[in-house]
Structure 1
Amino acid sequence: MKITKISHKTITIEPIVSFKIASSDDTRTDTIIVKVETDAGVTGYGESQPSKVVTGNNIEDVTNFLTEMDNTLKGENPLNIGRIHEIMNRQYKGKTAGKAGIDLALYDILGKHTGLPVYQLLGGSSNQVESDMTIGIDEPKEMAKLARQYVDEGFNILKIKVGLNAKDDIEAIRLIREEVGPDISLRVDANQGYYKKQAVRVLNEFYKYGVEEVEQPVPYWDYEGMKFIKDNVTQQIMMDESVLSPQDAFRAIKEEACDIINIKLMKSGGIYPALQINAIAQAAGLQCMVGCMSESRIGIAAGAALAASQKNITYADLDSYRMSKEVPGIKSDFTQEGGIMTLSEKPGLGLDIDLEF
């Protein structure tokens, strides 16, 4: 089997509600759908969702990369995913969102070729994943109101965005806990919004309200700050923006800078390097989460497959598609009730794509 063509299409994802975090305030998002065709008639689909803040890529960077890869990878065996990553990495440093789009399409092809859903190809630990639901930064009372809505919809885990104003953050957490009661798990994500000593003070206030895990409290480069926080608070500390690659994961573990690693396919460059990150973490006794950017159902289906397949991935934050309008021409067979996602048993990623490329 050989790759005959790699094409791509940029689409806009429209949010249902505005979503504000410490590092940005996006109202709409562009994403790139990737199509990989083969001489065997098997076609795979992936997604590239760049973020200048997180991955350092924008739409133009990724489309240029994908156009070049159409020439570079033509004739390669799509089942040799490791070799294709070697080629992409040799030619380009970074460009992880672009690499992810191709990687996801290759796993979709591999699943279709073998007749297996991707989660089974990767290990098949389970066909279900429990995801949290995220609450963006807003007035504390509005955040508490949204928390109640999500709990009423069946979510048992809430992820609350913080990091713009410490006083408001503490008040929001207090009101949310008051609103949802003691049995709902609360996690927070500061998106690099605090300084290390400020973070310790604020996180200790959060602890009074049962916050169990804190994601990326300080800037991505501040490994020393992350370790300082980890050593001075009770909660589990998660790295997100600090860990893009297996090499970053190794450094985070060596410097004892976190308790959990957040794997995102757009950061890592796809499933293949994500598995490497998880293996490194697992060998060191750290658990992982699979998170997302603002992907469509394509990226979410792939993230869910990864999360379901690996026992060491014990957290999932795969909620972005629920905050956006459905994208015409993109359907997937996974289902969700409350926080429980049940994966498709169809070969590949379980996608039904009807788009003009």
Structure 2
Amino acid sequence: MRIDQIKVIRKNLKLQKPYAIAGRVIDDVENICLTIQLENGIIGYGAANPAPEVVGESPIEAEDVLNKWVLPRLKGRDIRGFLGLIREFQQLIPNNPGALAALDIALHDAYGQWAKIPVVDIYGKHFDELPTSVTIGIMNVENTLKEAINFYNDKFTVFKIKTGDNPVSDVLRIKALRENFGDRVTLRVDANQGYSSEDLSYFLNETTHQNIELIEQPFRIGLESDLLVYPETIRRTFCADESLKSTKSIFPWLIEKPFGIFNIKLMKCGGILNAMDIGRIAELAGISLFWGCNDESCISITAALHAAFANKNTKYIDLDGSFDLGEDFVNGGFYVKEGKMGIYKDRFGLGFINDEFKLP
């Protein structure tokens, strides 16, 4: 079955409400959408929102790479060889994980629809649903509690708290949340490389009894070995995020293990196939998986869910990246029920419905 048409567009997607992370405020996101149409009319959808400060690629650059390097080489190829096509383009555009992710996702979706199976079943499903964390940005204690209460009222019970600007304020927020909710909620922390050694030690000492499930990327890239001074029981809760990009980037963390958890984002690693490679290596090394995202279309969020559910060492998901979008390219793909995310068992590919497609 041949690939007949390929289209790519870039669009700025507004957030319903801005949020703060260490060092900046986010109020809109730029995404690209790639569609692959087969000769029988099936349309596969891919999307990407690479973060330039993390992977060195912007959505504009991803769009340019797709138009110049991918589209001319993809038309007329057979979708039955989609895995080989992805490997081919991994070699051709190795430094463009956003472009590669959009292509990888669209090819998976098109193949799944053609083969009449969900994408997760290509690799084997280990989960039907998992609770996702929802993100609370950097704000004062009062607003943190207001945000958390709103999420809790919407049946979410896993909160990821953005920290890293001020460890004293961070501790106050964590303690206020635990005092307000008790053990009814799970607390995760994302420092976004914002802590020094002194900051992290202070934060850990002050929150010893707050039952924090994990801490994402406490230190800046390049300082990962400094985490080895902490006991192994604590390091198991440290999660590599910005330090983990491509498959090759994980190898330094497999022996000394400054991190007990790997955060996999399709926008960092270049799509589902590379994510599955990382997941398998992590499984062999006894490292848990935490699936994250940027502010993304539900297209790539759904793809991350399929990948997460296909890895048996998946332990956590943080895939709320499309929840706050004021607009999107498509609808569907996944559902959220009482704080848990799941994928539709009776839909093929990634589960989008053609008449929901909203590209001009």
TM-score tier, shorter chain, comes to: over 0.9
Distance change >3 Å, CA 230–CA 216, structure 1 → 2: farther
Deviation string 1:181-232 (CA, Å, 9 cap, x unpaired) is: 1231111000110123421221222223221210000112322123334658
Deviation string 1:26-67 (CA, Å, 9 cap, x unpaired) is: 110010111112234322101011211122111221111110
* AA at the equivalent of 1:310: N
Question: Is 1:354 aligned with 2:349?
Answer: no
Distance change >3 Å, CA 234–CA 86, structure 1 → 2: closer
Q: Report the 3-state secondary structure (helix = DSSP H, G, I; strand = E; otherwise coil) of the residue aligned with 2:175.
A: helix
- Quote the residue 1:79 is aligned against: 80
- In structure 2, how many angstroms separate the alpha carbons of the residues matched to 1:277 and 1:230? 25
Asked if structure 2 preserves the Cα contact closer than 8 Å seen for 1:196 and 1:229, the reply is no
Question: Is 1:155 aligned with 2:156?
Answer: yes
- In structure 2, how many angstroms separate the alpha carbons of the residues matched to 1:38 and 1:66? 18
Query: For residues 328-347 of structure 1, what are the structure 2 equivalents within 5 Å?
Result: 330-345=330-345, 346-347=347-348
- Quote the residue 1:55 is aligned against: 55
Question: Is 1:325 aligned with 2:326?
Answer: yes
Query: Which segments of 5 or more consecutive residues in structure 2 lack a partner in the other structure?
Result: none
Q: Report the 3-state secondary structure (helix = DSSP H, G, I; strand = E; otherwise coil) of the residue aligned with 1:163.
A: coil
Query: For residues 90-109 of structure 1, what are the structure 2 equivalents within 5 Å?
Result: 90-109=91-110
The percentage of counterpart residues that share the same residue type is 29
- In structure 2, how many angstroms separate the alpha carbons of the residues matched to 1:295 and 1:234? 29
Asked if structure 2 preserves the Cα contact closer than 8 Å seen for 1:203 and 1:233, the reply is no
- Quote the residue 2:180 is aligned against: 179
- In structure 1, how many angstroms separate the alpha carbons of the residues matched to 2:264 and 2:335? 22
The two structures, once aligned, show a CA RMSD in angstroms of: 1.8
Deviation string 1:107-129 (CA, Å, 9 cap, x unpaired) is: 10121011111122221112212
Distance change >3 Å, CA 49–CA 230, structure 1 → 2: farther
* AA at the equivalent of 2:358: L
- In structure 1, how many angstroms separate the alpha carbons of the residues matched to 2:107 and 2:136? 33
Question: Is 1:164 aligned with 2:165?
Answer: yes
Distance change >3 Å, CA 279–CA 137, structure 1 → 2: same
- In structure 2, how many angstroms separate the alpha carbons of the residues matched to 1:344 and 1:220? 38
* AA at the equivalent of 2:18: S
Q: Which moved more, 1:227-236 or 1:120-129?
A: 227-236
Asked if structure 2 preserves the Cα contact closer than 8 Å seen for 1:214 and 1:235, the reply is no
* AA at the equivalent of 1:277: I
Normalised by the size of structure 2, how large is the TM-score?
0.93
1:84 deviates by 2.1
Q: Report the 3-state secondary structure (helix = DSSP H, G, I; strand = E; otherwise coil) of the residue aligned with 1:164.
A: coil
- In structure 2, how many angstroms separate the alpha carbons of the residues matched to 1:192 and 1:81? 36
- In structure 2, how many angstroms separate the alpha carbons of the residues matched to 1:207 and 1:32? 42
1:79 deviates by 3.4
Asked if structure 1 preserves the Cα contact closer than 8 Å seen for 2:236 and 2:260, the reply is no
* AA at the equivalent of 1:132: S
* AA at the equivalent of 1:311: K
- Quote the residue 2:252 is aligned against: 251
- In structure 1, how many angstroms separate the alpha carbons of the residues matched to 2:243 and 2:273? 19
Query: For residues 229-240 of structure 1, what are the structure 2 equivalents within 5 Å?
Result: 229=230, 231=232, 233=234, 236-240=237-241
Deviation string 1:111-157 (CA, Å, 9 cap, x unpaired) is: 10111111222211122121111101111221122112212221121
- Quote the residue 2:15 is aligned against: 15
1:234 deviates by 6.8
Asked if structure 1 preserves the Cα contact closer than 8 Å seen for 2:141 and 2:172, the reply is yes
- In structure 2, how many angstroms separate the alpha carbons of the residues matched to 1:234 and 1:59? 34
Query: Which segments of 5 or more consecutive residues in structure 1 lack a partner in the other structure?
Result: none
* AA at the equivalent of 1:36: I
Distance change >3 Å, CA 267–CA 234, structure 1 → 2: closer
1:295 deviates by 0.6
Asked if structure 1 preserves the Cα contact closer than 8 Å seen for 2:119 and 2:350, the reply is yes
1:10 deviates by 1.5
- In structure 2, how many angstroms separate the alpha carbons of the residues matched to 1:136 and 1:160? 6
Question: Is 1:110 aligned with 2:91?
Answer: no
Q: Report the 3-state secondary structure (helix = DSSP H, G, I; strand = E; otherwise coil) of the residue aligned with 2:32.
A: strand
Asked if structure 1 preserves the Cα contact closer than 8 Å seen for 2:10 and 2:60, the reply is no
Question: Is 1:308 aligned with 2:309?
Answer: yes
Question: Is 1:3 aligned with 2:3?
Answer: yes
Q: Which moved more, 1:41-50 or 1:101-110?
A: 41-50
- Quote the residue 2:196 is aligned against: 195
Aligned residues: 356
Asked if structure 2 preserves the Cα contact closer than 8 Å seen for 1:7 and 1:35, the reply is yes
